[in-house]
Structure 1
Amino acid sequence: MQMRDLYQQKRTTAAEAMRHVKNGDFIVVPTGVGEPPALLTALSDQRRDFLDVKVGQILAMRKYAYLDPETVDHVRHVAFFYGGASRAGGQAGWIDFIPNYFSEIPAQIERGQMAADVVFSMASRMDDEGFFALSLGVDYTMAAVAKARAVVLEVNPNVPYAFGECRVHISQVTSLIESDEPVLEVGLPKIGPVQVAIGKYVADMIEDGSTLQIGYGGIPDAVVMQLTHKHDLGIHTEMIGDGILSLVECGAVTNRRKNYLPGKMIATFALGSKKLYRFMERNPMLEMHPVNFTNDPALAGLNDNMVAINATLQIDLLGQCGSESLGSAPFSGTGGQSDFVRAANRSRGGKAFIVVPSTARNDTISRIVPVLSPGTHVSTSKNDINYVVTEYGVAQLRGKSAKQRAKELIGIAHPDFREELTAQARLIHLL
């Protein structure tokens, strides 16, 4: 049968595609803008027809009607990482959470530790050989495609066809629907003077020829803004966004000096503007791969001079980072922070930066604390921490004793809290 005939045979509507979902199923959805809006809207509309269906995803972007505390016995969201659409439900307890390292989710799916009965995903148009690209969210979705009973694609001409291990063949697809809505755009975060100050410290320590992993947030983007004068930077990251695109456009990113996969930018999901999505279209400079490839510390660490830049919410005087909760209240998730901190530590010449404003709530709370708040989820351990950067400077902790770490961190805390931190450090015998 010709590919186009097979395509037409599997074409259906979003409402009809819900017949592939059975009671008790676990539906896997890609990261961020890879989520298929028409399919998730249809699931929301029919949610009361199901029992015990779960939707697993990192970083839900839209608050679909199925995200409803009144119907969780029918369809429940299971977060691998909380975002704006899922955070309140996670804190209230009616959205569930699976702790994970981002890099290990595919292996957990392959081993049956995480279910994958059905896949719902956005996809590019089919090429002449019958392949679609799941370019917006490759992540764990490719592992789920290999495992699932049913693979349902939302085919959209606005989804870029990217290169890399992100392609699904029409023979693997159970059903497909078509949509032409613009891909959701996500703007750059707000950047203030504190973020700019932190960004300058980090940018000054990034050498020409370094390979970058840049997380999402105001401080990572403030770093990007101050890298435009650098030369021959490379990219090996989990997220490609408009900040990285700006470094390509100004000529700072060339990937020429990468020793691992030279000439190629590597990522596992995209989050940005229409301009970014157009840039991704059949661009030989970019490859989108599953997260067990992009985020594997052993593989990413093969890049010499690997630089990882990630943010935290709170850090204690030993260097433990609580990057994903406010006390016991969940806020985000581990994501790829631990993966890339470890990758940079393995890299020859690598540097792992944890960036954090020194205070919160209008300078009334120090983010550098003697011990983490009760219930805090530790994302980067004291054994993995390397550089910590606030607007007051840089503390290098790797290889330092507990007492040396306490002194270093107090030195970059907000001046208003240094005396109190010193007193508390003495009470717990760190000074």
Structure 2
Amino acid sequence: MKPLDERDWPRLLRAGSRVFIGGGAAVPQGLVASMLTHADRFVDLEIVHIHGLGPTPWIEPRYEQVIRTNSFFLTPTLREAVERGQADYTPCAMSEVPALFQTGRMPIDVALVQVTPPDESGLCSLGVSVDVTRAAVKNARLVIAQINPKMPRTVGDSLIPAKDIDFFLKLTAPLPEAEVAEIDERQERIGRYAAQLIDDGATLQVGLGNTPEAVIRALKKHRQLGIHSGMFNDALMD
């Protein structure tokens, strides 16, 4: 594990490289900002990622000649990039993404991730975003990590040996937080109607957005509900 010298970006990201960027609340914004300062020297980079909180500067139009994005999740900003021909959307279940990296169907050249500082055993934690990131780290040719003391330490499959990290950048920064949804009257009404269709004991899969939030809020009198979902929103916690 070596300190990252920002002058090395053009050497580390070879022409035609596929670069994975960690998602969720663990987007390594410090690494991204450092990388983009050398964007004029990149050739035909592809960036792949899932949904991430915070800005996605790599899809700005000024980078369209050197960086192309391939996302497994569409946001309004990414949708605009797809419409203008700067990005691609690959529809794929989250659970199937790791296999794309593991089998080589979508090989990862460089993984940019955010981790905790290593512990006394030399293990870093991927913290709040393990998801598909662990598979990217295990299968990438090169791993570059932003080490952030503010990243919460989680255990289990989130742990990776520090020796598996090729280069690191130390940067202390707070993690982004998802804004609490403001539910309007129309969405509340939809939530109440949808709740009438859900029986006690049902198993729910919950998506992103105000409408799923409104439905969950309308289920407070239901009993024995199960959750099988890729996300947990504030309404579920309540």
TM-score above 0.5: yes
Distance 1:179 1:158 in 2: 9
CA shift in 2, pair 1:134/1:89, >3 Å = same
Q: Quick one: which amino acid aligns to residue 103 of structure 2?
A: R
CA shift in 2, pair 1:83/1:158, >3 Å = same
Percent of aligned pairs with the same amino acid = 27
Q: Quick one: which amino acid aligns to residue 207 of structure 1?
A: D
Q: Residue 189 of structure 1: CA displacement? A: 2.5
Cα pair 2:54 2:176 within 8 Å, conserved = no
Q: What's the TM-score once normalised by structure 2's chain length?
A: 0.86
* 1:23 and 2:15 correspond: yes
Partner of 1:45: 37
* Higher RCO, 1 vs 2 (CA within 8 Å, ≥6 residues apart): 2
Residue 98 of structure 2, aligned match among 106, 113, 134:
106
Aligned 1:44-83 pairs, distance under 5 A: 44-83=36-75
Residue 162 of structure 1, aligned match among 143, 154, 167:
154
Q: Residue 198 of structure 1: CA displacement? A: 2.4
TM-superposition CA deviations, 1:72-114 (whole Å, max 9, x none): 2322222222213322111111122323232211111112111
Cα pair 2:25 2:175 within 8 Å, conserved = yes
TM-superposition CA deviations, 1:286-324 (whole Å, max 9, x none): xxxxxxxxxxxxxxxxxxxxxxxxxxxxxxxxxxxxxxx
Partner of 1:192: 184
Q: Residue 239 of structure 1: CA displacement? A: 1.8
Q: Quick one: which amino acid aligns to residue 168 of structure 2?
A: L
Cα pair 2:59 2:86 within 8 Å, conserved = no
Aligned 1:120-135 pairs, distance under 5 A: 120-135=112-127
Structure 1 alignment gaps of length 5 or more: 1-8, 248-431
Aligned residues: 236
Larger Rg: 1
Distance 2:48 2:188 in 1: 35
* 1:207 and 2:205 correspond: no
Cα pair 1:61 1:85 within 8 Å, conserved = no
Q: Quick one: which amino acid aligns to residue 82 of structure 1?
A: L
Partner of 1:140: 132
Q: Quick one: which amino acid aligns to residue 102 of structure 1?
A: M
Aligned 1:26-425 pairs, distance under 5 A: 26-204=18-196, 205-208=198-201, 210-231=202-223, 233-245=225-237, 247=238
TM-superposition CA deviations, 1:223-263 (whole Å, max 9, x none): 22233445555543212333333x3xxxxxxxxxxxxxxxx
Distance 1:212 1:161 in 2: 29
RMSD of aligned C-alpha atoms? 2.4
Distance 2:190 2:32 in 1: 39
Structure 2 alignment gaps of length 5 or more: none
Distance 1:111 1:155 in 2: 28
Cα pair 2:53 2:177 within 8 Å, conserved = no
Q: Quick one: which amino acid aligns to residue 182 of structure 2?
A: K
CA shift in 2, pair 1:221/1:174, >3 Å = same
